[in-house]
Amino acid sequence: MLYLLAQLFEFEGLANLIRYQSFRAGACLLTALTIGMIIGPRFIGYLRVSQGKGQPIRLDGPQTHLAKRGTPTMGGLLILTSVLISMLLWMDLTSWMVWACIAVTIGFGAIGFFDDYDKVTKRSHKGVSGKVRLTFEFAVAGLAAWLVVDDTVLYLPFMTFGIPLGPFYYVFAAFVIVGAGNAVNLTDGLDGLAIMPVIIASGTFAIIAYLVGRTDFATYLGIPYVEGAGELAILCAAIIGAGLAFLWFNAPPAAVFMGDTGSLALGGALGVIAVAAHHEVVLAIVGGLFVLEAVSVIVQVFWFKRTGKRIFRMAPIHHHFEQKGWAESTVVIRFWIVSIVLAVIGLATLKVR
């Protein structure tokens, strides 16, 4: 909005400054961080009063988690508020790519909100059925894929060529967005575990989106050029700022949980950014921790149905390490380290072509 106003009213000095995506990314990060820090305490207080007993804790989970009873959930609303206000202030709202990202962020956040609301009101950890959730997720993801996809070639890291997928690319793109949303959702099981890897992945894709949106850098690095993709770096910056503000309150012992409201929205946002920037495979590398968490659940369920035995002591895999005796903080920090290493590997693919 500020970007459009500066151009509309011809504020020459301001317009010259705001036209730089790097400036708007930094301003967006600080705006989201400030909003989150200011509204956080009262917002969490409201959630605590309105939810009463807070998020239901699974009785079959790690026993140490029973001490978290009473902690409110839906903290993702704090993240979404900070992100969306910052996006509307600093991003170019004439871009379809921007509106596709907003649609996924709000759409997935709304799906997660209804799931959280169902859990809190019914005092059950089950929430909305998986089939209903996936139906709405694919509907939102399909719309976003239709808006942002302009090239149906799947580009691969370490390669100078791509694989033309034709119409199937839209299906693939929807799967990437939905998969990313649910993978982050599965990772959100310990205080601070999901939000920091999201911040790390967002920082990585802020760099990728900026480079992909520049013809000079894209040509030099041998990566696909996507017109307007640089705006997505500003969205990534908003996620970083809002994520840091949320981490302030989510640090152990957490004052609030992200809930499906935040994890689905953030994962979906990362997914649509990766699709728009044509770096879907790189997302699987950078977000390898999320992939690992999701695969651990899939493998556990599949193997248990086939044999009646479990591969992991508990899934997702972060609970497996808890059951092995790792302290919660140990699991979280070590998983953060893994995320940093994967982000570095993901960035390395930009030049190894």
Question: Residues marked as binding for Mg(2+)?
Answer: 185, 260
124 to 53, 63, 86: CA distances (angstroms): 12, 17, 34
Helical pair 231-250 and 195-212, crossing angle rounded to 10 deg: 170
Strand boundaries in 169-250, DSSP class E: none
- Name the strand (E) or helix (H) holding 49: helix 21-51
Peptide bond into 167 cis (omega under 30): no
Annotated binding site: 185, 260
d(CA 180, CA 59): 27
Contact residues for 61 (Cβ-Cβ < 8 A; gap 6+): 314, 319
DSSP state of 153: E
Return the residue matching tokens 């708007």: 24
Ramachandran class of 216: left when φ > 0, alpha when ψ lies in -120 to 50, beta otherwise: alpha
Is 325 exposed, middle or buried (CB count within 10 Å of its CB: 0-12, 13-18, 19+)? exposed
**In contact, 47 and 120? CB cutoff 8 Å:** no
Distance, CA of 282 to CA of 54 (rounded, Å): 37
d(CA 301, CA 311): 9
Distance in angstroms (rounded) separating the CA atoms of residues 196 and 124: 27
DSSP-based three-state secondary structure for 74: coil
Q: What are phi and psi of 164, to 5 degrees?
A: -70, 120
Alpha helices in the chain, H assignment, sequence order: 2-8, 12-18, 21-51, 76-90, 96-122, 130-148, 168-187, 195-212, 215-221, 231-250, 259-276, 280-286, 288-307, 317-323, 328-348
Q: Name residue, tokens 């301003």.
A: 27
